[in-house]
Amino acid sequence: MNIKLALAASLFVAIPVAVYAQQIGSPGQAPKPTMADIKKLVQTINSDKAKLGAYCEMGKVMEQMERAGQRRDTNALKTLSAKANGLAQQLGPDYTRIMDGLNDVDPNSVEGKQLDTLFAPILGQCNKG
């Protein structure tokens, strides 16, 4: 398995949820989405150029957030969080709901590896651009 792919998928799952949760407060544990829900979301993003662009941009923002977090740059994190929130809104409520429901998935688990596989088509599109 490509380490970069695994890291990217982990970031797409974990960080937008944290950003969203910070904005609205702690809503409690969202219900875990089904694999069918996730497949539908991936197909929706992959077939919509605007959503695909937002998803790819989210990946870049997440990398920037990781670097800012390592530097403990709270101003950059705040700015990047606002940008991530805007991108999450572009991706729609299904994206937010599904990502929130995947908050506790260990990226190294069997389920985490399944998610890597499900999100691979969109990550592949992002890497083409």
Long-range CB pairs of 64-67 (<8 Å, 24+ gap) are 65/15, 66/11, 66/15
- pLDDT digits (tens), the chain, 129 positions: 344 444 444 445 445 444 444 444 445 577 889 999 999 999 999 999 999 999 999 989 989 998 988 999 999 989 999 999 999 999 999 998 998 888 888 888 898 889 889 999 898 889 886
| 0.85 exceeded by pTM | no
Q: Which residues contact 114 (CB under 8 A, 6 or more apart)?
A: 35
